[in-house]
Amino acid sequence: MKLLAIEASQNATYYVSRYQQIEERGAEVYVLNGIGTEDFWAAERYRIAGSKQIEDIVLAAKAWHAEEEFEGVLTFSESGVVTVAVVAEALGLPSIGFEAARTSRNKLLMRQAHERGNAAHPGFRYAPDVEAALAAGAELGYPLILKPTLGAASNFVFKVDDPEEMRARFADATRGIETMTWALMEADGLDLGPHGIIVEGYLDGHEHLIEALAWDDEVYLGSIVDRITVESGTFDDDVHHAPSSLTEAQIAAVHEVVRDAAHAQGLRRSVLHAEVRFHQGKPFILEIAIRPGGGGLDHMARISAGHDPIQCVVDVARGAKPKVSHYAPTSVHTAAMCLISGAGTVESVQVPQEVPSSVFFLKITATPGTVIKRPPAGNNILGFLGATGASLEEALSTAHIVASRIRTEMRPEHA
């Protein structure tokens, strides 16, 4: 089984481990990067198009497909989902289609789809300028959420409490999105919809991250993870726990809103990463991405719910229905966190040589020379850490102990 993985612009080596997971499941992974480094993947299964232009990426993919006859095309990158949809269609392979991909990438188009499809969602307004943002504040009421339409990883997402803060955060976000990595890694030549800011009503309840599958008329919730962060004015995706503490009735309500939102986005055969937040006791959709969640969420899904998002990617890419079932948690508790530092340039990161066997995931994504930006300038992290236990407290304690033993040397960003 030959699968083609694509990034228009290579995101360092971040997805190498996931490509390796696919190969562990019996597939051969071929990687095509529009722009990338020479040593990224095995030479005989790696090509660089030399351009971020979608036409050049499609041409390179077609030429390679003629030689290798791929069974499917995939990506793990939020910035690659539209590119993959276009390439898959051009190669005559399974694809969710350009419109569904674009709707699932652009937060404004996604919200408009949710509105048309009657999926429970927060009120929203597109804000092309600060005056429009202030008008949205007056209409929707504070607090509000301000976010980029083409964002990812909580970059330039702010909770705003009043008009004065709206002016400041709108300026931060407007400056930030011009150099935001997730937007710059998109293929050139694609109409991705408005690149700007939307303002949304604030949802005051608990939040959950879901690995799911849309297949024809059904949506399967494979894994549900609780976000247990103490929240501030920014949204660091930092501490999570599974299995979920949701009741059966709450899970049923979550299933309904995820299904409605997925179908509203035009998703009928797709891997899903859904984020749901409760407000006044009811779940509302935050967003649905058409790739697995990042960090260690795939590991948490397998351990805490017996659901394999990576295998789902393999199967969906080649048009085969994955073996999935509705959410069925195990008795193993998992806790995972982002490793967060101050702003600056990384000089070194030292990880303990020995860690407890209950640590299921420890990935350092920053390397010497990596620039770490923290809100309001950005939202970079050092890496990810996850541990298991007989309870949330035990798993979280192990994760905190290991995190405290990681030593990071930073150079101030202004130096």
Residue 22: predicted pLDDT: 97
Question: In terms of Cα–Cα distance, which of 246, 151, 234 is closest to 208?
Answer: 246
Residue 413: predicted pLDDT: 65
What angle is formed at CA 101 by the lines to CA 22 and CA 376, rounded to 5 degrees?
A: 90
Question: In terms of Cα–Cα distance, which of 232, 319, 264 is closest to 119?
Answer: 264
Amino acid of residue 272 = L
Residue 130: predicted pLDDT: 97
Instruction: Give the whole-angstrom CA distance, residue 54 versus residue 70.
Output: 19
pTM: 0.92
Instruction: Give the whole-angstrom CA distance, residue 290 versus residue 258.
Output: 13
| Burial (CB count within 10 angstroms: exposed 0-12, middle 13-18, buried 19+), residue 191 | exposed
Residue 339: predicted pLDDT: 87
**Measured torsion, CA atoms of residues 16, 81, 119, 234, in degrees rounded to the nearest 10:** 60
Residue 233: predicted pLDDT: 55
Residue 161: predicted pLDDT: 96
Residue 73: predicted pLDDT: 98
| Burial (CB count within 10 angstroms: exposed 0-12, middle 13-18, buried 19+), residue 130 | middle
Instruction: Give the whole-angstrom CA distance, residue 140 versus residue 163.
Output: 12
- Residues β-bridged to residue 140: none
| Burial (CB count within 10 angstroms: exposed 0-12, middle 13-18, buried 19+), residue 353 | exposed
Most distant CA atoms of the chain, gap in Å: 59
415 residues of the chain, pLDDT tens digit each: 999 999 999 998 989 999 999 999 999 999 999 999 999 999 999 999 999 999 999 999 999 999 999 999 999 999 999 999 999 999 999 999 999 999 999 999 999 999 999 999 999 999 999 999 999 999 999 999 999 999 888 888 999 999 999 999 999 999 989 888 888 999 999 999 999 999 999 999 999 999 999 999 999 999 999 998 766 555 665 789 999 999 999 999 999 999 999 999 999 999 999 999 999 999 999 999 999 998 899 999 999 999 999 999 999 999 999 999 999 999 999 999 888 888 899 998 898 888 999 999 898 888 888 888 888 888 787 888 999 999 999 999 999 999 999 999 988 864 4
Instruction: Give the whole-angstrom CA distance, residue 415 versus residue 128.
Output: 34
Residue 342: predicted pLDDT: 84
Reduced to 3 states (helix: H, G, I; strand: E, B; else coil), residue 116 is helix
- Look up residue 24 and give its two tokens: 């562990």
Cis amide bond preceding 309, omega within 30: no
- Look up residue 299 and give its two tokens: 């590991």
Question: In terms of Cα–Cα distance, which of 275, 278, 302 is closest to 289?
Answer: 275
Asked if 361 and 299 touch (Cβ cutoff 8 Å), the reply is yes
Residue 235: predicted pLDDT: 61
Which are the contacts of 282, defined by CB distance < 8 A and separation ≥ 6?
A: 120, 253
Reduced to 3 states (helix: H, G, I; strand: E, B; else coil), residue 339 is strand
- Phi/psi zone of residue 388: left (φ > 0), alpha (ψ -120 to 50 degrees), beta? beta
Instruction: Give the whole-angstrom CA distance, residue 351 versus residue 391.
Output: 25
Instruction: Give the whole-angstrom CA distance, residue 57 versus residue 382.
Output: 31
Asked if 142 and 136 touch (Cβ cutoff 8 Å), the reply is no
Cα separations in angstroms, 53 against 57, 87, 88, 92? 6, 12, 16, 20
Reduced to 3 states (helix: H, G, I; strand: E, B; else coil), residue 272 is strand
Question: In terms of Cα–Cα distance, which of 222, 187, 1 is closest to 105?
Answer: 187
